[in-house]
Structures are given as C-alpha cells and as structure tokens.
Structure 1
Amino acid sequence: MGADAGVAGVSTAAHAREGLGRVARGGALNMGGAAAGAVLNLGLVVTVTRGFSPDAAGSLFAATSVFLIASAVANLGTPSGLVYFLSRLRARGAGHAATRVLRIALVPAVAASLGAAAVLAVLADDLAGLIGAPAAETYLRLLAAFLPFAVITDAALAATRAYHVMRAGVLLDRLGRPLSQLALVGAAAATGSAGLLAVAWAGPYLPAAVLAWWWMRRVLGAHRRSAPTEPAPPPAPPDSPGPARSGGSGADAGVSPRAFWAFSLPRSVSDIAQLGIQRCGIVFAAALGGTAEAAVFTAASRFPVVGQFAGQALQFAAEPRLAELLEADDRRGANNLFRAGTAWLICLTWPLFLPAIVYAPLLMELFGPHYASGARVLAVVCLAQLLAAALGMGDLVLTMTGRTRTNLANNLLALAADVALCLLLVPIAGASGAAAAWAGAIAVRKGLPLAQLARSHGLHPFDRRWAMAAGSCLVWFGGIPALSAAVLGTGPGSLAAALAAGSAGFAATLWRLRGPLELDLLLRRGAARSGAAG
C-alpha cells in the first residue's frame, strides 16, 4: 500500500471526523458500563461497611489493595503493550502478526502471575503485618489463588480494545464481575461470615478470564477473515521516536520480543506506580492510623471512583485511535483528539465531583455512623479528581508516543510524592492526610506530561472547548448546588433539587454547544459504528 493513500486516509477531514466519532461512540459505550460498574462497586463497598465491622472492612480493603498491586506487577504492562502494537499493526495492514504479539505478551505474563500468586501466598503473614492489618493474612492467601485470572482478563480485554471492540470490557469487566462480586459479598454479609469475603470478592475473576479469552479469540478470528475497513496510515519514518519503529515492515515491524518489552515493561512499572498512588493511601492509613481510618478513606474514595471509571472509559476508546494517529505522525489529529477528549472528560466527571464537595456530609452517611468523619476526606479527594479531569489524558498521549520511560519517571515521582506526603500527613490528620497526599500525587502525575508533550510535540488539552465544558459545569453543578445548600440545607431534598435543576440546565447547555464540543458525533451512525458496538 502506498504512502500517498495512507496520508490521504488520515489527513482528510472526513476520515478525522470518522475516527473522532468512533472514539466518541466507544467512549459513550464504555461510559455506560463505567457508570453501572461504579454504582455496583459503590454498592459493594456499602455492603461491606454495613455488613461487617470497620476493622473487618478495613482488613479486606487493605488486602484487596495488595492484590490489585500484585496484579499490576504480574501483568508486566501487557495490556498497554497489546493495544499499542496491535493497533499499529492493524493500521499498517499487518494484522496477521497479532498471534505472534499475543504469544510474546501472554506467555511471560501468565508465568509472572503464577510466581506472584505463590509469593503472595507465602508472604501473606508478613504482608498483613506490614500493612497493619493482621487479620488480612487469611484474605491474602485466598486472594492469591485468583491472581492469574485477573492478569489473563486484563490482557485479553486489552487485545479486543486494540480492534476498537469495547463491548467485551463493558459486559465482563464493568458489569459482570462487579455484579457477581456484589451478589456474593451480599450473601457473605447475610451469613455474617467475614471469612467468605475474600472468595466472594475474587471468585468472579475466574469466569471473567474464561469469557475474556473466548471473546479475544473470536475478535481476532473475525479480523483475520475480513479485509481492513479503512485506509491504513503510511509507514512511520525511520527516525521517528518510539520503540515500535525498530525498522522493517509488515509483520516484522515492531513485534520482536525486544521491541514489545522495551515498551511494556516501563509501562508496567508506571501502572504499578499509578495503582500505588490510588491504593497506598489505604495502606498507609491502615498502618499509621489503624484499620478504621483505612475504611473511612476507602469509603470516601468510592464516590470519585465513578469519575475515574468515566475517565478510563474514554481512555480505553481513545487509546487505539491515538496509537494509529501517532503511528502516522498525524499530530494535528492527535491534538484534536486530546483536546476534545479533555472537554468530554470534564463534562462527564465534574458534574459528579462538584455536588459531592457541597454535600459531602450527607453522602458519607450512606456508609453508616462510623463514617461521618469522612466528609472532609471526600471533599479533598473530589478536588483532586477535578484537577485530574481538567488536565486531561496527557499521560496516555505521552505513552502512545512511545515514551514509556518518561511516563515511568513521571509516575515514580508522583508515587514518591504520595508516599512522602502520607508519611508526613497521615500521623497528623489520618484519612484526611491520605487524601491530601493523593491530591499532591495527582498534581505531579498529571502536570508533568503536559509540559513534556507541549515541548516535544506541541500537544496540549486547552482550547475553547475546555473553557466551555469547565464553565458549564461550574455554573450548573457548582453554583446551583451551593445555592441550594445555602437555601435548603444539605439534606436529601436539597441534593435532589440541586441535581434536578443542574441536570436540566446542563443538558440544555450541552445541546446548544453540541457542535463546538463535537458531541454531535455521538448521534451519528457512520461506518465506524461497528467499532463502538462490537
């Protein structure tokens, strides 16, 4: 395929709009799943906090945090590596090399997951003592058995996303697994047996892994049998940055084990650092403040998880498209996606975080009387998430340029800031200190990529769409809730009135701004529809 045809395919306005529309529709599908998954996860936390003592709940939350960190270690960065390389191979018309990439990725990842599970089981006693939750020892041993299935699930679903297939992740990871967890944990709460909690929480990873593997093979088989549905971008110039450009063409370009792991291993450590930022507050709160403080911090951080899922939903849809655009060195298209995605992310998440700050005491009462002190924690965490959404997905864009080592350094600096701030603030302020440390880490992790991308690629997330999205959210979900709370108090009726008025006004505003914000792409049914619905 000639370079001229590839350039024409990427550079035309129609093709760019088609690609952006596919991201929008895929993001919307992911967002629906994320919203449902967030509700299910919130229900899971409420079930645990109301069904068991704060000490038992804190021990489970600390143990599951260790499990998720171990899973991030064991996957070796394969989810990001699979999306990155499979998307680029598909864009080059070399999708037949997918089987080789999967073999390069999955054999070491599965072996690492088995080793990590053995280490977790053997060192459960020491780890439980380290996190200040001796009762978590049994939980950790039980969780270890399910660690390989978590790794397989993540890798298989990542492979489907590389082909713009989002439905598998939505149905299995966003809906099926958390729904099963909620049902099983609810059954454990009904029996009053804290010993069943770990199996109830981790058990659904087994069927999820089986179904994800089946879905991945189905998607790959369908794409092997079908011709490409869109023009491929031109081959990357030999001197372009990024580990995928190692020379060669077709199936051989960028799929050697050395190229794959040069990209994926730094990304693995970055993922560990990101998960550490999310979870080390729980661990430090347990170790330095007690398991009750860990439970308060975990409960308060459940509401912002809704927004995190929304951000991840959009990133999952944007990730393969960014890889394709940057493979073609289409910086204009990548910048447009970066900016549009940031505006969409603000519109998705700020309406959740802003009212939560105003009504933090009311929301924390959902978890029971022991958690009323977490209102300040919730407010700080929500402020941190407002900042994260406002700065966009720069870390993802940086990764898709191939600069995984730079991204790794950024995340390690952010994790170091989180640990240092936790050591300083948790002994003084407990869970509130852990929340403040998290906010500081987010500022570092999100701020550094913006400076690096602006300097190296001229990419940044700020334009009039950013101002429109932020201004609309501040008016309808900042000003209206504040006014309602001042007039009606902070009870349930006031919250309902604020959300009703704010949602109506916000919906009308978005409708008027649907063109400038490019939200009209959600309503279009072009050729890219199968990418969002597949």
Structure 2
Amino acid sequence: MSLTTNTPSEKLAHSAIISFLGSGFAAVAALLLTIMVGRALGAEGTGLFYLAVGLFTIASQILRLGSNSAVIRTIATQRALGVKGHATSVLYIAVLPVLLISLGAAAAIVLLAEPMAGFFVDAGQQEDFASLLRQLAFLISLSAVLAVLQTLTRMLNSVLMFTMLQNVLLPAGRVALVGLALWWGMDAFEVVFAWALSIPFWVLVTVGILLPKLREDRKLRERRLAPGTTREFWNFSASRGVGAALEICLEWVDVLLVAALRSPAEAGIYAVVTRIVRAGQIIDRAMRVAVSPKIAHHLALGENNAVRALHTKATQTMILVAWPFYLTLIFFGQPVLGFFGPEFISGTQVLAVAALGIMILTSTGMLQSLILMGGRSSWQMLVKAISLTLSVGLNIVLIPWWGITGAAITWTAVIILDASICGFLVYRRMRIGLDLRYVLRSILVALAVFGGGWLVLRLCGWHSPGALLLGAVMLALVYLGAIALLRHWLGLGELKLASFTGRKKL
C-alpha cells in the first residue's frame, strides 16, 4: 500500500506546471512559425498569411458555440455534487450541435468566398484568396469540433494529455507543415492551407484517445442524467458562445482592420507585434487550464475564501512570470523584432505600447475565468460587446491617421476598459477579491529587477541582440535569487502549502 497520497494542492500545482510547460512550447512554436513566415514572405506576405489565419481562427472560435467552457463547468460541477457516469451524455450534448452548425457555416463560406475576398484584399489577389477560403471551409468546421473534443480530454484523461494534444503536437505539426511549404517556395495563401491541413488527423487521434475513457465513465453511472441538463448546458453556452465570438473578434479585429484600412505590409508588422506580445500570455493560459475546474468546484460549493486564495496565487504567478518578458519587450523591442526580419523593426514603438497594455491585464488576474466558472457568462458577453464596440470604433478613427500606432493605442485602451468592468463585477458583485499585499509585492519585485535592470543597461549603451541575451541571463539569475530571498515577504511559503486548497487565508 502506498504511504503517500497526492493532496489537492499537489495535484493542482502539478497541473499548473504541465499547462505552463505546454503553453510555453506552444508560444515558442508560434514565435518560430512567425519568424519563419516573416523572414520568408516579408511584411506583405506575413500580413496576408495572418489575415487568412485570423479569419480562420475567428470562424473556428465562433463555431464552438461556447461549449468548451460549458463542458468544463458541467463535468466539474457534476463531480463536485457526486454525479458520475455522464461524460458521454455531455459529449453528445456538446459536439452534435457544433458539428451540424459548423457544417452549415462551411457551406456558407464556400458561397460567400468571393465577396469576403473583395473586402480584404486587392483585385489582383481576390481570386486566390477566394479559392483559399473555399479550401479552408471544411477544415474550419473540423477545427471547431476538435476544440470541443480536446476539452473533453482535459476532463476525462488528464491535463497532460490535453496539453500534449493542444499545445505540443498540433503546434509542432503546424510548424513542420509551414516549414515544408516555405521550403517548397509556396506563396502566403498556400502556406495558410498547409498550416490548417493537419486538423482532420488530430480529430481522429483525439476520438481514439477519448473512446476508452468514455467507456470507463459509463460504467460508473448510478442514475439518469438530471432533467434540464441539456437546457442548462446550452443556456450557459449560448451567452458564452457570443462572449467567445466577441473575444476572438476582439483579438483579431485590429489586424484585419489594419489590412483593410492601410496595407497588408502594415498588417504584417502589426500581426508580428501582437503575436510576440501574446506569447507572454502562456502563464495566463496555463493558469486557466489548471485552475478553472477547481474554481468551478469551489464556487459550486460556495467556498469563496478558497476561490480568493486561488485567484491571488494565480495572479501572483502570472505577474512574477510574465512581467519580466513584457518589460524586456518595452526596453529591447528593436533587437527582438530584428529576429523576424529588418522590415519589422519599424514596429518597436508599437511593441512597447502593446506590452504595456498586456502588463495591465496580467495584474488583474483571472477575472474572465471567475466570471465564467461562476456561471455568469452573460456578464462576459456584455463586457466583450462593449470592448469590441470600442475597439472597432477607435481603430476606424485612429488607424487611417496613425497606422499601427493607432491600433496599439486602441489595444491598450480596450484592455483597461475590459479589466475595469470585469474587476468591478468580480470584486463587487461576486464578492471575490485579491490579497493586494502579495500582488503589489510581486509587482515591485518584477519592476525593481527587470524594469530597473533593463533601464540601467540601456543607459550604459547596451542595445544589441547580444546585449539582450546576456542581460536576460544576468537579470534572470538576480530575479530568481530575489524571489528566493523574499519568498516569505511575498507569501510564497504560505501559498505553496495552502492557497490551492483554500484551507488557510493568505
């Protein structure tokens, strides 16, 4: 008999580490792909590539219908209440509507490909772009189904399996296929098709992984599914689906508007900037994957103190890991952009503005997850609608005047508005706060070491890529030492033992 058991805190910490490593791999793969595309296709080709990828991603996210979050919430709530054996029912409830609606949407894309192409690209590229959209239509449908199936692997198999499928194997496959397409000298639109080509294969793999777990789960069934489960699932998903659609449009609308209102070349530079900045959100995505089911569990039982502890721990982790990256982008944006090609260095100022915006967002914690796992998907939908309206309006006004700098200013303004509204809803309406002592202390450590360190190095004349790499190693060592020395002041000792279980106050 084993003499040791994994505590809830240890299990969650293990999940967080796996999710972080997987998200880190996905972010590195995305950056590598961007470097490959940028160096091979230049600013204009990169703009066309990300224009098509953006449209693909928006359509795929919308066609998930918000079912991803509903799958996590439904299964986590059932487990918290002792309901077993209904994962197959949740699968049918989630996947069938997504499949049917996404197939209809694929047919609509095929029919509307030419007018869509006419809106985004010049006359000389419209025929090729319309042909690409027709080729991608069915793959967009499968991509929506794949996302739902992979979410089920998170709940039925393990965080490791989910992470391997979504954050390691799929991104690695895309890098390989895009690399081959570029090596063969394909143009931007052909490279996009190569990027999406592996989706049917991963659908089959994911189904094969799920089937044994679904059979095991059905053996645990003790009673029939509660009446109204389907209605509750899709009531939640409906508003979440609209919210997710608004969220993904918010993520890509600036790139699309830069392409439509300025040029593909400027869109390419701006797309590279935003991809770099979003790479720093790996810790946010890792925390969502690891912590969201636990948040749903505690909220279902009314354990707000445990949620507060989780939220504080997640926010601290996000700040301590992500802020050094964003501060590096602010002080050394030029050599970073130089890795993608000389055409992209003109986006240095834009990179600093965008990085500042994401730093603000990171410091507010997991507000979106708290709102969603608390069943308030309608709140999230309203917030995203307001944010998207502001984003479209400001971008239409500022992009023609200031180009991609106007898009970056809009980005930061929208982030501040979004975080302010969500913060009010979480802290005032849901009554779930943060222990600001530890959050502010984490901010101070990151600013002192990386903010102060990069400022000193810049004043000493360090500007080259070599200086960036050497400085990053030096500051990282100082940073780790500072965290180790200040761990009790930062509250990391208490957090390690108790924050994930909610058994002690921070």
TM-score (norm 2): 0.91
Q: Deviations over 1:141-186 (max 9, x none)?
A: 2221211221122111212323582112221211111111111111
Structure 2 stretches lacking a partner, 5+ long: 502-506
Count of residue correspondences: 490
Show the 5 A alignment for 1:1-80. 18-80=7-69
Cα distance change of structure 1 residues 130 and 18 upon mapping to structure 2, 3 Å threshold: farther
Q: Which residue of structure 2 aligns with residue 433 of structure 1? A: 406
Q: Distance between the aligned counterparts of 1:518 and 1:71, measured in 2? A: 41
Q: Which residue of structure 2 aligns with residue 193 of structure 1? A: 186
Q: Which residue of structure 2 aligns with residue 368 of structure 1? A: 341
Q: Which residue of structure 2 aligns with residue 352 of structure 1? A: 325
Q: For 1:416, what is the secondary structure of its paired residue?
A: helix
Q: 2:111 matched to 1:138? A: no
**2:292 corresponds to which of 305, 319, 336:** 319
Show the 5 A alignment for 1:506-517. 506-514=479-487
**1:455 corresponds to which of 428, 434, 451:** 428
Deviation at 1:103, TM superposition (A): 1.0
Q: Distance between the aligned counterparts of 1:66 and 1:211, measured in 2? A: 25
Cα distance change of structure 1 residues 220 and 318 upon mapping to structure 2, 3 Å threshold: farther
Aligned identity (percent) is 26
Q: 2:141 matched to 1:169? A: no
Deviation at 1:55, TM superposition (A): 2.6
Q: Which amino acid aligns with 2:70?
A: G
Deviation at 1:86, TM superposition (A): 0.7
Q: Which residue of structure 2 aligns with residue 117 of structure 1? A: 106
Deviation at 1:205, TM superposition (A): 1.7
Q: Which amino acid aligns with 1:65?
A: G
Q: Distance between the aligned counterparts of 1:522 and 1:138, measured in 2? A: 54
Query: Over aligned residues, Cα RMSD in angstroms?
Result: 2.4
* 1:340–1:517 CA contact under 8 A, matched in 2: no
Deviation at 1:72, TM superposition (A): 1.3
Moved more, 119-128 or 477-486: 119-128
Q: Which residue of structure 2 aligns with residue 239 of structure 1? A: none
Q: Distance between the aligned counterparts of 2:488 and 2:7, measured in 1? A: 15
Cα distance change of structure 1 residues 296 and 499 upon mapping to structure 2, 3 Å threshold: same
Q: 2:208 matched to 1:206? A: no
Q: Which residue of structure 2 aligns with residue 97 of structure 1? A: 86
Q: Which residue of structure 2 aligns with residue 282 of structure 1? A: 255
Q: Which amino acid aligns with 1:23?
A: L
Q: 2:481 matched to 1:487? A: no
Q: Deviations over 1:359-389 (max 9, x none)?
A: 0111111121211111111111111110110
Q: Which residue of structure 1 aligns with residue 504 of structure 2? A: none
Q: Distance between the aligned counterparts of 2:203 and 2:216, measured in 1? A: 20
* 2:43–2:344 CA contact under 8 A, matched in 1: no
* 1:395–1:407 CA contact under 8 A, matched in 2: yes
Q: 2:375 matched to 1:402? A: yes
* 2:327–2:450 CA contact under 8 A, matched in 1: yes
Q: Distance between the aligned counterparts of 1:178 and 1:49, measured in 2? A: 17
Q: 2:150 matched to 1:157? A: yes
Moved more, 180-189 or 81-90: 180-189
* 2:262–2:400 CA contact under 8 A, matched in 1: yes
Q: Which amino acid aligns with 1:368?
A: G
Deviation at 1:217, TM superposition (A): 3.0
Show the 5 A alignment for 1:269-348. 269-348=242-321
Q: Distance between the aligned counterparts of 2:201 and 2:268, measured in 1? A: 29
Cα distance change of structure 1 residues 477 and 223 upon mapping to structure 2, 3 Å threshold: farther
Moved more, 367-376 or 144-153: 144-153
Q: For 1:162, what is the secondary structure of its paired residue?
A: helix
Moved more, 382-391 or 198-207: 198-207
Q: Which amino acid aligns with 1:311?
A: D
Cα distance change of structure 1 residues 353 and 225 upon mapping to structure 2, 3 Å threshold: farther
TM-score (norm 1): 0.87
Q: For 2:76, what is the secondary structure of its paired residue?
A: helix
